[in-house]
Amino acid sequence: MGSEKSFMKIFMSFMKISFVFLCAALIVFEVYVLANSHRVADPPAKIGATGETDGQRGEPDLSEIGMGGTPLDSFEIYESKKRDPTQEITSGEPESEIETETEPPTEAPTEPPTEAPTEPPTEPPTEPPTEPPTDPPTEPPTDPPTEPPTEPPTEPPTEPPTEPPTEPPTEPPTEPPTEPPTEPPTEPVLKNVPVLMYHTSSENNPGGLAELYVKPSEFEKQIKYLYENGFTFCTFDDYGNLNEIEKPVFVTFDDGYRANYTEIFPIVKRYKAKITIFLTVNNIEAEDFSIKMIKEMNDSGLVKFESHTLSHADLNSISSNESWLASEIGDSKARIEEITGRPVVAFAYPGGKFNETVKAKTREFYSFGVGVSFGTHRTDFDLFAIKRLRINRSTSLAGFMDLVG
């Protein structure tokens, strides 16, 4: 805008100077025309051949001049003399006088009329009126109105409304409602889960507590039945997924015996069956059940070791002695985890005996408490009073099939 204003100022100054020069030229021209017209209108008196001036002679009778008696206009005589200077003049006037009369009319009428009327009217009227009116009105009105109104209205209204409303409403409603309702209703309500209880195994009659010694051949028949009839072998680490398992079954052994390694473990490996051994810590080595055997079974991924106290004590009888009770329940867990390197989550009450004090102490260390009360465990039952189905040496395959269903 500044450069355009400067240009306009320079242009207007130039036009003013041009106009002044033009006016001066017109004045000079008019003076020149007036001077020449006065000389043509009053020519000085010329002396004729007779020695008399034009005024003394009077005006010639142009009607008497001509050819064949036809009157001629004075202008035609002038033009004829101009066209043919060598022609003889009949009036008897000398050539010098005629030439002097012809020169003034030729210069004055031809040059002034051509130059004066053409130049002054053309230049001044055309340029000044066109440019000054066009530039100032067009530029100022266009720039200010267009730019300010367009930018502010478009940007602020569009961005804030779009982004904030979309994100917060979508995410919070979807995630929280879906996850919590699915797990609790399905697990504790509909599942009847057989938890089988064994102790040890021997093919020959051991004498004494013979019912605790299930024959290896019978044990294999029982495991084979479960395997072929669609049961899934579980440990307590799988308890949270029971709603996804159609026919879960738990195979558990109490105390910890050498036969668990020599007789039971080979059958377990053949059928890829997972089992749980509730280990009495003081039985390690004393029953020829070595730490090496325990680690081998643990490392297979098929055997999970849980706690069965330190010394197989009667917990009801020592429940008043809090430190002793805590040692039997808590220290046994720490020792087994030290050997296996895996968390111990379940506890089997020795002889199936427990009271509210024992159960409360068990809750401090474990997620599950397992008894010996006969029956099928329901997932909506107390997890610290889980029932089991005891399998004895005398249990037949038919009886076993009735128990597991």
Average pLDDT over residues 44-57: 45
295-305 confidence digits (pLDDT tens): 999 999 999 99
Residue 278: pLDDT band by 50, 70, 90 thresholds? very high
Counting residues of the chain whose pLDDT is more than 70, the rounded percentage is 61
Domains for the chain: give ranges and CATH numbers. 2-139 (no CATH), 192-404 (3.20.20.370)
Distance CA 314, CA 325 (A): 10
So what's the pLDDT on residue 396? 96
pLDDT exceeds cutoff 70 at 38: no
Give the helix, strand, coil percentages of the chain, each rounded to 5: 60, 15, 25
Cβ atoms within 10 Å, residue 136? 13
Pairing of strands 248-255, 232-234: parallel
| Structure tokens, 284 | 């390690």
Residue 128: pLDDT band by 50, 70, 90 thresholds? very low
Average pLDDT over residues 203-232: 93
Distance CA 264, CA 249 (A): 17
> Which residues are CB-neighbours of 210 under 8 A, at least 6 positions away?
393
Highest mean pLDDT out of 171-175, 180-184, 208-212: 208-212
66-109 confidence digits (pLDDT tens): 444 444 444 444 444 444 444 444 444 444 443 434 444 444 44
Distance CA 197, CA 392 (A): 9
pLDDT exceeds cutoff 60 at 65: no
Average pLDDT over residues 14-26: 85
Highest mean pLDDT out of 9-23, 130-144, 155-169, 365-379: 365-379
pLDDT exceeds cutoff 60 at 189: no
Q: Which of 328, 316, 307, 323 is nearest to 357 (CA)?
A: 316
Long-range Cβ contact pairs of 45-48 (< 8 A, separation 24 or more): 46/97, 46/100, 46/101, 48/93, 48/97
So what's the pLDDT on residue 39? 54
Output the average pLDDT for the chain: 75
330-368 confidence digits (pLDDT tens): 999 999 999 999 999 999 999 999 999 999 999 999 999
So what's the pLDDT on residue 264? 98
pLDDT exceeds cutoff 80 at 152: no
Prediction pTM value: 0.55
Decide: residue 102, CB within 10 A, 0-12 exposed, 13-18 middle, 19+ buried: middle
